[in-house]
A and B are shown apart, each in its own frame.
Chain A
Amino acid sequence: MKKEKLDLEDYRKLLKQYLLTHDETALYQAEQLSKLSVQHNVSPEEIIHVHIEALKELYPNLQKEVSDSLNFLLEAMISYGLALQEYQSLREKQSALESEISVAANMQKTLLQTKKPTIKGLDIGAVSVPANQMNGDYYHFIEGADGTLGIALADVIGKGVPAALAMSMIKYSMDSFPEQLRQPAQILESLNRVVERNVDTSMFITMFYGLYNPVSQTFGFSSAGHEPGFFYFHETESFSEITARGLVLGATSDARYNEEIMTIAEGDAIILLTDGVTECHLGDRFIERDEVLEVIKHYLHLPAQEAVEKVYKHFERLQDFHLRDDFTLIILKKEN
């Protein structure tokens, strides 16, 4: 760190000007000098030292008690100088850390990339926004050779780097599963074993897995303790919760998962989300699931991608542009 010597001559002139005229200009310049000193890491004791020297030059017969008392002040300022230096070094460390995390966040983005597939008769929209730089939510679309579409949605309770690391693990386990492994319950059971073996028990991962079959027009799904999503039935214009029971991933080594199957018709919609959506805070109040549903209902007539983005924007604004948790929302709309 560079240290710039405080110019005694300038300081003396400034001080003299002030003592003679009580001029506000001199005080303004002193303020500038003070800022510059902080910038250049000049500690307060050095300024006091310069002050003492300048004063002695201006008043060679300075009263001894005055100069002694200024020396006393100088000693009393030492710790402030140290605190300033510590602050500077912590700031440098912080910015190094921040850039490290942003590199990691970019890496994560690349790792967890998923292509939104084009499936005939299905309009798909998805948003996933991390509260901090790294995302502890994760969604993935898997197209099968048989024309089915798998939809994985997971949420690590907690956020930031540890959550992101756990997510990367989930993604890579799924990538390593054989192509024939398509059934939601089986997939969750396999992932449960991976998580049970590799992730600390203090870390909870919830997951939803759905499988859309365009031929039978059905949606099969299983849930590992995941926040329930919603079905929208076009015919009755009503919503119902997508409920499936199952333990969070990694709780026991041999968790079993039920699989439910729904038939979906034209105009129906499937809404999947993480608790970052339903646990939006409004001041110190959680908003209710009903309120979330209201907002989703309001935008559901739009194309799926536009709808999820509108819903996200709504809650972002509601929370003053400060997400408390990672936010992921997927909408699948059945077309003809």
Chain B
Amino acid sequence: MEIKPCVNIRQEWDIVGARQLGREKAKELGFGTVDQARIATAISELARNIYLYAGTGKVYFETIDRLDKKGLKVVAVDEGPGIRDLSQVMQDGYSTSGGLGAGLPGVKRLMDTFEINTEWGEGTEIIAVKWVR
């Protein structure tokens, strides 16, 4: 099995590392500058959430190379407290930064697919994919 490129998130500085690794992978896959910036921002949001709410966790990347399309999969996992009220969290305007468009709804917009698995008290896993256009 291929070893997945991975960044452990333990301190704020690690968010930058995750962005950087994600951007490199995106560049390799042939994403344009706009999409690179979007992917990096999505990674930031996910990594920041881990840093802020779970304390520690990791972000790893998978390149998807299919016949019909190529893409980058970003996975953020932690064993933090989990998210209790998901549907509320996924609503626009809910995030604590208050209607700046970022947060998890922002990640959903920045990426093409967005999946979240979370169990209250057990942790959170977020999987998001962006396809090369």
The residues of A with any CB-CB pair to B shorter than 8 Å are 45-46, 49, 52, 71, 74-75, 78-79, 81-87, 89-90, 93
Q: How large is the interface on B (under 10, 10 to 19, 20 to 34, 35 or more residues)?
A: 10 to 19
Q: Decide: A85 and B101 in contact? CB cutoff 8 A.
A: yes
Which residue of chain B lies nearest to A77 when distances are taken between CB atoms in the complex? B37
Closest Cβ neighbor of B42 among chain A residues:
A78
> B101 near A86 (CB under 8 angstroms)?
yes
Query: Which label, helix, strand, loop or mixed, suits the secondary structure of the B interface?
Result: helix
Cβ B33 vs Cβ A74 within 8 A: yes
Choose one: A45, A79, A83; the contact of B34 (CB below 8 Å).
Answer: A45
The smallest C-beta distance from A151 to any residue of chain B, in angstroms, reads 45
Q: Is the interface of A mostly helix, strand, loop or mixed?
A: helix
Contacts of A78 in B (CB 8 A): 37-38, 41, 110
B67-102 to A contact mask, C-beta < 8 Å, 1/0: 000000000000000000000000011000001111
Known A-B contacts A49-B32, A90-B92, A93-B92; the reply to A84 vs B101 at CB < 8 A is yes
Q: A49-B32, A82-B106 are contacts. A75–B101 as well, Cβ < 8 Å?
A: no
B127 to chain A, nearest CB (A): 20
Tell me whether B34 and A74 are in contact (CB under 8 A): yes
Q: What CA separation (Å) do A49 and B110 show in the bound complex?
A: 16
**A79 contact from B32, B92, B93, B100, Cβ within 8 A:** B100
Determine how close the nearest CB of chain A comes to the CB of B103; give it in whole angstroms.
9
The complex places the Cα of A86 from the Cα of B105 at a distance, in Å, of 9
Given that A78-B41, A79-B100, A83-B101 are contacting pairs, would A49 and B92 also be in contact in the complex, using a CB cutoff of 8 Å?
Answer: no
* B132 CB to nearest A CB, Å: 16
Residues of A within 8 A of B106 (CB): 82, 86
- Known contacts: A90-B92, A93-B92. The answer to whether A82 contacts B109 by CB under 8 A is yes
What is the minimal beta-carbon distance from A85 to any residue of chain B, in angstroms?
5
CA distance in complex: A86, B110 (Å): 12
Cβ–Cβ contact B37 & A90, under 8 A: no
State whether A75 touches B40 (Cβ < 8 A).
Answer: yes
Given contacts A82-B106, A89-B92, A90-B92, contact A45 B37 (CB under 8 A): yes
Q: Determine the residue in chain B with the shortest Cβ distance to A90.
A: B92
Query: What are 15 A-B pairs with beta-carbon distances under 8 A?
Result: A45-B34, A49-B34, A71-B33, A78-B41, A78-B110, A82-B101, A82-B106, A82-B109, A83-B100, A84-B101, A86-B92, A86-B93, A86-B99, A86-B101, A93-B92
